[in-house]
Chain A
């Protein structure tokens, strides 16, 4: 009976006939440990709560983290504030709304990015890179200058939606929705949106238009109030929570639209309703913070490296990471050049652009 070993031995001898009969032995399996989502979520949630309190303590007025905790707790009906009325006001009226806005914006942008990456099967998808943020800025700036503050989130949503539609349409006209083409189309839409935003501000504003333009184009949380936190938080509830609840659907898109359809997913309905959800989320976030970039790109990738690609874990963990990150990025932005403030988008871009480069380089080939 011939077996593989004797065939190998025969093949090793310098004979002319060399039967290639050996079944290739499988490479040693590289086991992947299963990531535990529950504990990770709990740790990150605790880190978020700590970050909120700690970040409110950072600033020129000298307040300890414990006192910041106490002051916040007192407003929530737990005990009395350990701080003077002045410091208490700084915490509750100035810093906390800003920190909460940062958290909500970070969470919203990270969720938007993760959802967009899944639905467009594009590792480079991000609300900033695909032009949604600049579209939202344009919409927001238009209504602010018309004095229609109440319509701010709505206008930003419409702007984001229009920009998304323009990007996808342009990419399709350019030959198909490949990742690179989609990002290039996003660059075009984003540039136009930014230019028009600058133009509108410059045309109508009388005072410090450059600072205003920077705030919208690079993102800034310096004007955040309780109303900002309210808008961002409401958007998380209205759009973010449903997106999280639908996260399992996103897994079905891994092998493309047809495979998703064969699994019983109504592909067009799911895709467009979820993309509209990301536009709503992005629009609301941009309307309170301007176009903060790269958060939607970076955190889904970071979380995927650690927790794996399942969206049930990816979305909430990205949201928590995005929230914590933007809190500290904004704290850095107001702290580094104190008393001057850096637009927070500068901080996120310094960290995000190298990640973008890394993802781009890792994709190799493709178009």
Chain B
């Protein structure tokens, strides 16, 4: 399956040499940047885990109807930031506004109808079928108390279809491969019918074909108006498939904006300590980021 590059425009500047790294860069007014309504706006976000500040004064915006990548080295705080945005870990300071409403002070159930989180490692001892797992996603939409069925079979089937795993419905979750579990968790998140979809490394564990299919699915969801935020390790994926990128380092946002402007060799070297060449994909014309441990001179 091919991901169609319709939404990504070429930047006006040169494909490799655009220097634009640095704190506080925004896409507004930059060449080639798309105008997005900022539906999620986090300001001054601090999250501490075990007394240590893991997310340290994060300001970021996430546009609706767009696919945003959250990139940064291991331990930069990507997962914690996603969990904080979902309201799963307590925030020490700061606000998260969703369409002007304070997401973190909304009632939990209401928040769960807006934001869905699919995490990296998710295991259970319970012998649940895939259908059981996905139907958990409908919990925020059905009454919590009562004796009836209360399940929404149509929503579950729709989510399974959207995530491309309808044939797994009756399999046991515990018997699936890592990649299949990833897909099922995505389906569970979709069953929440979220407006904000937070995905922690959704392409992890996946083979190349499945990675591209997942990115394509994420683009489709963004095209439906959902704000999709995915923590990614593959910078080429971030540059070639995402509308917006947020670069985290040591718990803080060091750059944000159009990935083709933000993900420069300088920034990648500063954040990851590796040398980068931003090339052009010979077939698609989209950015291709080649990395090395300092064999090339910059």
Interface, chain A (partner B; CB < 8 A): 23, 29-32, 34, 121, 123, 244-246, 248-249, 251-252, 254-256, 258-259, 261-266, 304, 308-310, 312, 363
Contacts and interface: CB of A to CB of B under 8 A. Distances in A.
A245 B148 CA distance: 9
Contacts of A254: 124, 126, 128, 132-133, 136
Contacts of A304: 127
B170 A248 contact: no
B209 interface: yes
A121 B108 contact: no
Contacts of B139: 248, 251-252, 263-265
- Nearest 6 Cβ contacts at the A-B interface: A264-B112, A264-B109, A264-B140, A264-B108, A254-B126, A263-B139
A304 B83 CA distance: 32
Contacts of B117: 262
Given A252-B139, A254-B136, A265 B108 contact: yes
Interface in B34-56: none
Contact of A264 (B113, B124, B132, B207): B113
A204 B123 CA distance: 52
Interface string B78-103: 00000100111100000000000000
B127 A308 contact: yes
Contacts of A123: 125
A170 B123 CA distance: 26
Nearest to A263: B139
B132 A252 contact: no
Contacts, number: 93
B144 A309 contact: no
A363 B127 CA distance: 12
B25 interface: no
Given A258-B88, A261-B88, A264-B140, A308 B132 contact: yes
Contact of B146 (A32, A245, A263): A245
Contacts of A23: 207, 209
A121 B147 CA distance: 23
A121 to B, nearest CB: 7
B116 to A, nearest CB: 7
A332 B124 CA distance: 38
12 contacts: A30-B175, A121-B125, A123-B125, A245-B146, A245-B147, A248-B146, A248-B150, A254-B133, A255-B124, A264-B112, A264-B139, A266-B108
Q: How large is the interface on B (under 10, 10 to 19, 20 to 34, 35 or more residues)?
A: 35 or more
Given A30-B171, A263-B139, A266-B108, A255 B144 contact: no
B207 to A, nearest CB: 6
B59 interface: no
B14 to A, nearest CB: 35
A263 B132 contact: no
B65 interface: no
B297 interface: no
B202 interface: no
B250 interface: no
Interface in B108-153: 108-113, 116-117, 119, 122-129, 132-133, 136-137, 139-140, 142, 144-147, 149-150
A148 B89 CA distance: 47
A308 B126 CA distance: 9
Given A30-B171, A252-B136, 20 more contacts: A30-B172, A30-B175, A32-B171, A246-B144, A248-B142, A251-B132, A252-B139, A258-B83, A258-B88, A259-B119, A259-B122, A261-B87, A262-B116, A263-B112, A263-B139, A264-B110, A264-B112, A304-B127, A308-B129, A309-B127
B279 interface: no
A232 to B, nearest CB: 21
Contacts of A261: 87-88, 108
A262 B109 contact: no
B168 interface: yes
A261 B137 CA distance: 12
A310 B192 CA distance: 19
B139 to A, nearest CB: 5
B132 A310 contact: yes
Contacts of B116: 262
Interface string B158-177: 00000000011011100100
B172 to A, nearest CB: 7
B126 A309 contact: yes
A259 B128 CA distance: 15
A266 B119 CA distance: 19
A116 B255 CA distance: 47
B126 A263 contact: no
A263 B116 CA distance: 8
Contacts of B137: 263
Nearest to A305: B127
Given A246-B144, A248-B146, A309 B128 contact: yes
A177 to B, nearest CB: 14
A34 B110 CA distance: 31
Given A32-B172, A258-B83, A246 B125 contact: no
B136 A263 contact: yes
B112 A32 contact: no
Contacts of B129: 32, 308
Given A254-B128, A255-B122, A255-B124, A244 B147 contact: yes
Contacts of A251: 132, 136, 139
B142 to A, nearest CB: 8
Contacts of B142: 248
A125 to B, nearest CB: 12
A251 B139 CA distance: 9
Q: Could you say which of A121, A245, A252, A259 has the most chain B C-beta atoms within 10 Å of its C-beta?
A: A259
Contacts of B192: 263
